Chain A
């Protein structure tokens, strides 16, 4: 009898492990396609593996949802899948836009901005304020980028919020269902719990908002500092209309470095004054 119990435990453990492997495989597969984490796929796989051994628990879960929300498990997963696709599509679109714009920026870039600022402020001034000038240039890049991407980013953030709220609603119902199960049944649904907790742990903040606006405070402070340091220079760059965005940043940095070399060679650069 004891041997039989041990064997049962091993089987349960094996099922849990198998379910987790299936989930992980699904997540990796979705990453290769460049989609967001495919929640519906992960739960479909969990359902498939649970249905073989513990069909009654799945039926119970479905009945629970219908009783509490009025819609089935399949209804929930279908809508979440739609939200996921919508979000993944928006992510893919902004990524493609970035890649395209970056190539375009590299092609459109010219060094004339450095010539123009030199003509306007004089070489000695530029030599000794090159860091501030470069910072103003980056702020100009960011202004161009904001015009290009902020609206898309805000739309993605709203899609992400819709998706995460759907995750939360579905998973909180699951956790309520799980908590009312017997200890024996909880063990059978452990893989679900692990996955549910994993997803719930990511829904407490917008990850895309962090990615897009994570340095916004610092960037804004840099901008304020530049305005305070030299308003004339700041306004000059603020009025600049650039035919390129931050995709040209590397080329601009390279030009800045070459310019510094020239300043050094011509003896125009004061130590610790750039």
Chain B
């Protein structure tokens, strides 16, 4: 199933394609697709285009560059726009990356995140009381039902959250009523703004907001 991520990433066949500014640090060197020249880059993009389902990858990439002409299909991008895109990648100001694993590694929560997490915990508990819902799934327990000693260590320990965790969370959320989901989604969305200078935490809270939406 194709899915566009919150930063315009495109996920297909277990891979994630994305564009990153050179100053960003949430990608590894071996995830970067390197090109020697514009011909090679154009050939790579054209090759992607041959696959009828991957044109959206290019489309997403183009959209990240604000190329409105590419809104529907890359075929409609004019040469100038595509050249602009290629130049940005070749100058290494922007990098095209491909990632085999979609997830967040080494996420460290800050105290404010823990407080929001505890609020979410209370929200779900209140919701369970009003609607007699019984919730018990691993990721839920791990992130939103932390044991007291775990809460204390949450700020200092790094977490890794993978695709499977999000799937489990999505499954667990099905049991939460719409009203509570909306409140949590909004709260997580607002909290993501507090971390506009921390890409990982911003992404985590946006994904939590997405998951509850």
Q: A residues touching B (Cβ–Cβ < 8 Å)?
A: 27-28, 30-31, 34-38, 91, 94-96, 98-99, 102, 130-131, 134-135, 138, 141-142, 145, 160, 202, 207-208, 210-212, 214-215, 219, 222, 246-247, 249-250, 253-254, 257-258, 261-262, 264-266, 272, 274
Contacts and interface: CB of A to CB of B under 8 A. Distances in A.
Which of B132, B183, B190 gathers the greatest number of chain A CB atoms within 10 Å?
B132
A261 B7 CA distance: 9
Nearest to B123: A211
Contacts of B7: 257, 261
A207 B129 contact: yes
Contact of A253 (B88, B119, B183, B209): B209
Contacts of A98: 178-179, 182
Interface residues of B, number: 41
Contacts, number: 127
A164 to B, nearest CB: 10
Contacts of B180: 211
B66 interface: yes
Nearest to A99: B178
Contact of A36 (B19, B131, B179): B131
Given A36-B131, A207-B126, A261 B66 contact: yes
Contacts of B122: 210, 214
A266 B190 CA distance: 26
A91 B196 contact: no
Interface in B68-125: 88, 94, 119, 122-123
B66 A246 contact: no
Nearest to B188: A249
A31 B134 contact: yes
Given A131-B196, A249-B185, A258-B63, A202 B178 contact: no
A142 B185 CA distance: 12
B130 A36 contact: yes
